[in-house]
A = this chain, B = another copy of it.
């Protein structure tokens, strides 16, 4: 499996990293979906300059971790058969962890940006050699 070994249900080393996984989990929280659709839905979250293989990979990895499950779609498609991914309750838990993690991440980014603009206002955009 790619990625960390989970310990105690947390996000392990995936803490504080990118938005792909949490966004995927969120999308599947809304209902089952195919990889190909997810590639498209991710666009509206700003995840667009990404090779589709990364998304398929994330899905496979999350399945190995037990966050989602897949079966082949019964219905006829415009091409080869599609996998339908469904969130498991472990995946739902994982999503909760991600959400909390993202909240603290956002707070930290906020703090940095705030202190930055504060500093810029006080000191007029110059960095100080001394």
A residues whose Cβ falls under 8 Å from a Cβ of B: 16-19, 22-23, 26, 28-32, 45-46, 86-87, 92, 99, 102-106, 108-113, 115-116, 119, 123, 127-130
- Looking across the interface, which residue of chain B has its beta carbon closest to that of A46? B108
> Could you tell me if B30 and A104 are in contact, using CB atoms closer than 8 angstroms?
no
> Could you tell me if A108 and B32 are in contact, using CB atoms closer than 8 angstroms?
no
Chain B residue numbers with a CB within 8 Å of A45 are: 108, 111-112
> Could you tell me if B18 and A127 are in contact, using CB atoms closer than 8 angstroms?
no
Known A-B contacts A112-B22, A113-B99, A119-B30; the reply to A17 vs B127 at CB < 8 A is no
Known A-B contacts A112-B22, A112-B102; the reply to A86 vs B46 at CB < 8 A is no
CA distance A33 to B30 in the complex (A): 48
> Could you tell me if A109 and B106 are in contact, using CB atoms closer than 8 angstroms?
yes
What are the 7 A-B residue pairs with the smallest beta carbon separation, nearest first?
A29-B127, A31-B128, A106-B109, A46-B108, A87-B127, A16-B18, A102-B109
Known A-B contacts A127-B92, A130-B32; the reply to A110 vs B106 at CB < 8 A is yes
